[in-house]
Chain A
Amino acid sequence: MIYDILLMNGYGIYVWSAFAFTLLSFISLYVIIKIQYTKEKNKFIAKFGTLNSERAAFAKSQSINKEILSNISSI
């Protein structure tokens, strides 16, 4: 039965390569976007760390900044 699923009457090479290409594209896109996201987040945290207490308090008063800092690993 496993051979039947793999070979698919001789069409297995086409079917499996189409599905493999699709899944590989998904994984590649996910990894690229994840790397971009982590990079920007780390940059934000690093920049935030360099602010003095007054500026940091002002920046933190914006809800979105607070959300970014609280969701360190949201994905």
Chain B
Amino acid sequence: MFKYFEPNKIYSVTSKAPKYVLMLFIIILSIGLTEALILSPEDYKQSHSVRIMYVHVPAAWISLGIFSAITFLSVIGYIFKIRNFFLISKSLAPSGLVFNIIALVTGSIWGKPTWGTWWAWDARITSMLILVLFYIMYLVAWRIYEDNDKVFKATSIITIFGIINVPIIKYSVDWWNTLHQPASINILSKSSIHISMMYPLLIMTAAFALFSILIFLMKYNTELIKIKNKGLDRL
């Protein structure tokens, strides 16, 4: 099965896909922005500041999702010695980091009108900040180590420690008394968010997911060409 993940086979698809993903991203983002900024209703309590949710929440979801994917790929890649899984993980990390930063900054901007402060050392915010540090450590490890075995080992260890933080982020609002509100959307139980706000949120999430796919494809192609450049040196 793993032969389908060989770079030679994947490149023919990944080299052509970005332009289509970019077009789709622009269309979905345009619809999402119209819904989020104009069409969706204001909140009875938070008024228009609730619109920040449409960038804050998808960014947080995707940064958590990407880190989980990186951990899974790194661990499986390390166990089964699949080099391409590390390449995929490495290509996912930049967008994960940027989404994490977006979640923190937009959360901070949202905090000012709702809590009266830009920053609070509360459990959810602090654990998200720790996740940024893990993303940075992960990316720095790729820059520090030249040897493949060392970098695979180091990045796997970083992601294993980092993944412990993911359930802490998720349940921090239930485990501790925090300023941050509990989750409004639940997959297993009834969501407390109204459908008129749910749609724009899902559209923006789709747009953000497409952007992370776009960046992943571009980065992955770059990494493959980098490997091929080294191959030409050896000829």
Give CA–CA (A59, B231) in the complex, Å: 9
B residues 93-118 touching A (CB-CB < 8 Å): 94-95, 98, 101-102, 105-106, 109-110, 112-113
A residues 1-40 touching B (CB-CB < 8 Å): 5, 8-9, 11-12, 14-15, 17-19, 21-22, 25-26, 29-30, 33-34, 36-37, 40
Give CA–CA (A18, B60) in the complex, Å: 14
B residues 214-234 touching A (CB-CB < 8 Å): 214-215, 218-219, 221-222, 224-226, 228-229, 231-233
Q: Is the pair B112, A64 in contact by a Cβ cutoff of 8 Å?
A: no
Identify which of B41-49, B68-76, B167-175, B194-202 touches chain A.
B41-49
User: How many residues of A are in contact with the other chain, CB < 8 A?
Assistant: 39
Q: Residue of A at shortest CB range from B12?
A: A67
Smallest CB–CB gap between A17 and chain B, Å?
6
Chain A interface mostly: helix
Question: Can you list 19 residue pairs at the A/B interface with Cβ under 8 Å?
Answer: A8-B49, A8-B51, A14-B49, A15-B48, A15-B51, A18-B52, A19-B33, A21-B109, A25-B101, A25-B102, A30-B215, A33-B218, A36-B219, A37-B222, A40-B222, A44-B225, A64-B7, A74-B16, A74-B18
Chain A residues, Cβ within 8 Å of B18: 74-75
A residues 46-75 touching B (CB-CB < 8 Å): 47-48, 51, 55, 58-59, 62-65, 67-68, 71, 74-75
Chain B interface mostly: helix
Does B124 lie at the interface of the complex (its beta carbon under 8 Å from any beta carbon of A)? Answer: no
Q: Residue of B at shortest CB range from A58?
A: B235
B residues adjacent to A (C-beta < 8 A): 7-8, 11-12, 15-16, 18-19, 22, 33, 36-38, 42, 47-49, 51-52, 55-56, 59, 94-95, 98, 101-102, 105-106, 109-110, 112-113, 211, 214-215, 218-219, 221-222, 224-226, 228-229, 231-233, 235
